[in-house]
Amino acid sequence: MNVVDGGLKQELMVDVLRQHGRCRMRVSGSSMLPTLWPGDTVAIERRSPSEMKVGDIVLYERCGRFFLHRMVALPAERFPGRFVTRGDSMPRADPAVPVESILGVLAGVRRGEDWVAAPGAMSPMTRWAAALLARSSGLVRVALYVASSMGGSLKKRPNKDASPERGTGSLSRAEALPEVSTS
C-alpha cells in the first residue's frame, strides 16, 4: 500500500468516526503488548475528553499516523490542554498529546472471529509482563514469534458476548481497515 492510499484510508476512518461515532481498525506494532497484538481488530468509539479517564486506551493522530496508547495522565497544570499517553510495553510516556488530536477510545478487540472485552486497568500479571517487554526489544520479538507459531494462543481467550457492534452495518467491512500503530 502506498502512502497516498494509507492517507485516504485514515481520512475516511476519521470521517466515519466523526459522523457515526464508531469505527474499526487493524492493529500493527508492538508497543501495546501484551494488551493488544499485531493483527487484532479494534473497535473505536468517539468520546468527549471529559468522559475519558486515566487507564483508557485512546486513539490519536500525530504526524499523519494513528496511535493507540493508554492514557496515563489527564490535562493538568504541567500539560494544559494535553493528555499524556504511553504504550503498555514502552519504557517512557509519549510526548503530550493535544486534546484535539484524540479521536476516540478503545471499545473492543477482535481476535480471530471473536470479540474480547475492551481492556480496562492492567492486572498485576499484565503489568509485570508489560514491564518486562518495555525493557527488552528482544523479548518483544520472542513473544511475537512464539505467539505467531502457536497460532496466537498466548493471547487472551475470546469472549463471544463482548461484541461492541450495535447494528452499524456500514462499519463492518474488515477488509478495508486501515492500520493503527501501537509503536
The CA-to-CA distance between both ends of the chain, in Å, stands at 19
pLDDT at 121: 79
Q: What is the extent of the structural domain holding 16?
A: 3-181
What is the SS3 assignment for 95?
A: coil
Helix, strand, coil share of the chain (percent; to 5): 30, 30, 40
One digit per residue, pLDDT tens: the chain, 183 residues?
A: 223 356 778 888 888 888 999 999 999 889 999 899 898 999 999 998 889 999 999 999 998 889 999 999 888 767 788 999 999 999 999 999 999 999 999 999 998 788 887 777 788 888 888 888 888 888 888 888 888 887 655 555 444 444 444 333 333 333 345 666 666
How many whole angstroms separate alpha carbon 6 and alpha carbon 12? 10
Cell of 1: 500500500
| Count: domains in the chain | 1
Cell of 84: 499524556
Looking at residue 159, which CATH number applies to its domain? 2.10.109.10
pLDDT at 127: 82
Considering just the CA atoms, what is the radius of gyration of the chain in Å? 16
- Does the pTM surpass 0.85? The reply is no
- Note the residue count of the chain: 183
